[in-house]
Amino acid sequence: MADIKEILSDMTLDEKIGQLCQYNTQEVVESTAGITGIDENLGLTKAQVDSIGSVLNFANAVEMREAQKKHLENDRNKIPMLFMMDVIHGYRTIYPVPLGLGASFDPELAYDCSRVAAKEASAGGVHVTFTPMVDYVRDARWGRVMETCGEDVLLNSRMGAAQVKAFQGDDLKNPENIATCVKHFAAYGGAEAGRDYSRVDISEQALREFYLPAYKACIDAGTTMVMPSFNTINGVPALANKFLMKKILKEEWGFSGVVISDYHAVDDFETHGYTDNRKENAKIVFENGCDIEMCSTVFFNNLKSLVLDGTFTEEDIDKAVLRVLDLKDKLGLFEDPYRGASDKIDADEFLTEENRAVVRRAAEECAVLLKNDGILPLSKDTKKIALIGPLADNKEIIGFWACMGKPEESVTVKEGIKKLLPNAEIEVAKGASYIWGENSTDGFEDAIKAATNADVVIMCVGEPQDYSGEGKSRAHLEMPGAQEKLIKKIREVNKNIVLLTFAGRPIVLSDVADDARAILHMWYPGTEGGTAAANLLFGDANPSGKVSMSFPKSTGQCPVYYNRTNTSHPKSIEDEDTYLPFHSNYIDCGNLALFPFGYGLSYSNFVYESLELSRNEMTKDDEVTVKITIHNDSDRAGKETVLLFMRDMFASCVRPIQQLIDFKKVYFEAGERKAVEFTIKEEMLRFWNNESQFVSEPGEFRISTGCADNLILTKSLVLK
């Protein structure tokens, strides 16, 4: 263990400030890595470059080792740099995008996938991942919904905590573990109109109730870093927001780790119209507890003068530097600055059969069967298969922000089916573009010809993988190009259509849902996506995913989400899709989602037979057991995600009409009947009131199971 206080005592003020600055690796060595933000000439001096404390965006471990070696040669104090990267859903072996991972409702699966990513990323030279992203989301127009696990705070919290524990392990000195940075604090997912970087304007009650808990869960799980968001929240940039950064993060939650700005965010205050003075920017964010500035020069150019003029003391700077040095020490960088990074571009740890097996299982368990009239699973004796659509033989199905993942290393749907059914006759036709504005029908003829004599038509459609992610907001959530028109043309010649949809978000399927006999939503499934698709289509895997974010009927419904509150002039859920004058509804579209949160079919037939409570009344010191009896009334084993909902019928703040309070994913043998048990404690019934108190109130609670908007079993529980 290094004596970081002794190291600190030998540093100049300029060198200390360098530890609080992060830039792209290309500032140190030539880099082939892409840049994930604004690319500009920062004008750094050699002395500043030599004192940099951390870098991001590097191509591989060889480049990392070269940069670290050069830095150590030039840094008088021989303090290793931290190397950070966005390892969002895998490093080289890619698993489904996080929104898809959320659809598994399986924190253990999230853990397993993250362990694969941690080991590969460490071999690739990564010390810190900017993961997990646990922003609460309700608007599918926002491109970054793909990076979070869904529209429910409990789901996000459990999946995020699992990722933190998996990446970091029990000991950060173990080179198979890397540190995590939870993001984006706070409420980035509430961007107005789903437009990236836009303002967020929400009540404190909504902030505490829905947006903050997942960040807190990750902090409780031990995350070493936190990244504040780009956006303003209630008129103040997150980095400048004392309520967020000091009152909540530091005082209430006691976070003592490293806080890092997002890319160029410290220099964005002028753009926001908040300040036009970079020295003031430095004062505000450092005072608020920001330890590292990413990819702008506000700290380098202003922190020293703030010490010299007495605004801060050098001891204030020391505290931030010690947090950075402590993280380096915990990672073992002072003992080994290269920390297990391979000396090869293609490390032996990458793309192993074991890793591929994990991500293949993830792709299978994250896929959501949205519709099935009995056509699935397809028979392996199927002779003629028409494989149609722009994603039928397309390797770009790994998803946006796949780190070092390479599309050429992925399995296409065609390859997956061909391997499973080597003797089947498979005819492939692209048919149509999936690019917005490219509406040509030139490929229709070949597609129609392929479909005409086929036993089944598998149509692989959706949005390009780079249509979701940072800066990829969409105003229209229908499938781009001429895909919808192609589906309708194919139906004219063959009604045995299975839609295999790919997207990094929920997409609008209302106009084509009736044209297909089955719809299987794959999200963006990762390296083994084509293998998983084939296994699911032909019954070697049984779908078990549930919708993690509601699929709207129309983009105009957005934001649409399950845990909404009731309104004045309300309608019952049974009437939500019927227009009634002087009620809260649309005149041209129903209120409900096309496929709501928690919805998902299986090849097994799970029959929910009963819901029983151990008692119908409880005090604040009691616990109540909920027993839900489920029968797998089929000859297929499968997994069912059992969801437990609550509704607080009357409270001092209007409560959601349905609210997830627990869930379990349970395996059932064919024909098996079992009771799934949950325990309700008083704290599960609490909410944040308008006085910022986390309370429960006496009264009636409805305890239910099913999926959102279809709660099939309900019992009443009274809190005394």
Convert the pLDDT of each residue in 116-155 to its tens digit: 999 999 999 999 999 999 999 999 999 999 999 999 999 9
**Helix, strand, coil % over all residues of the chain, rounded to 5:** 30, 20, 50
Residues in the chain with pLDDT < 50? none
> Sheet holding 82-85: strands in order across?
258-259, 225-228, 179-185, 128-129, 82-85, 54-56, 21-24, 293-294
For residues 645 and 671, the answer to whether their CB atoms sit within 8 Å is no
Give residue 17's region: left, alpha or beta (phi > 0; psi -120 to 50).
Answer: alpha
How far apart CA 291 and CA 304 sit, in angstroms, is 14
For residues 481 and 448, the answer to whether their CB atoms sit within 8 Å is no
3-class DSSP state of 687: strand
What local confidence, expressed as pLDDT, does residue 577 receive? Answer: 85
| Pick from 229, 283, 285, 222: nearest CA to 256 | 222
What local confidence, expressed as pLDDT, does residue 40 receive? Answer: 67
Angle at 246 between CA 241 and CA 249, to 5 degrees: 100
The token pair at 295 is 């990819």
For residue range 674-706, what is the model confidence (pLDDT) as tens digits? 999 999 999 999 999 999 999 999 999 999 999
What local confidence, expressed as pLDDT, does residue 36 receive? Answer: 67
What local confidence, expressed as pLDDT, does residue 29 receive? Answer: 87
Handedness of CA 372, 576, 563, 714 (dihedral sign): negative
Which residue in 106, 262, 515, 648 is the catalytic one? 262
Q: Is the peptide bond before 184 cis (omega within 30 degrees of 0)?
A: yes
The phi, psi pair for 641, rounded to 5°, reads -90, 115
CB atoms within 10 A of CB 635: 10
> Sheet holding 368-372: strands in order across?
368-372, 518-521, 497-502, 456-462, 384-388, 425-429
Q: Is 201 a catalytic residue?
A: no
| Pick from 561, 712, 710, 619: nearest CA to 209 | 561
Domains in the chain, please, with CATH? 1-9+16-84+280-351 (no CATH), 364-555 (3.40.50.1700), 604-719 (2.60.40.10)
What local confidence, expressed as pLDDT, does residue 34 receive? Answer: 67
Percent pLDDT > 90 in the chain is: 94
pTM of the model: 0.97
Secondary structure of 353-394 in the HEC alphabet?
A: HHHHHHHHHHHHHHCEEEEECCCCCCCCCCCEEEEECCCCCC
What local confidence, expressed as pLDDT, does residue 31 receive? Answer: 73
The phi, psi pair for 668, rounded to 5°, reads -125, 130
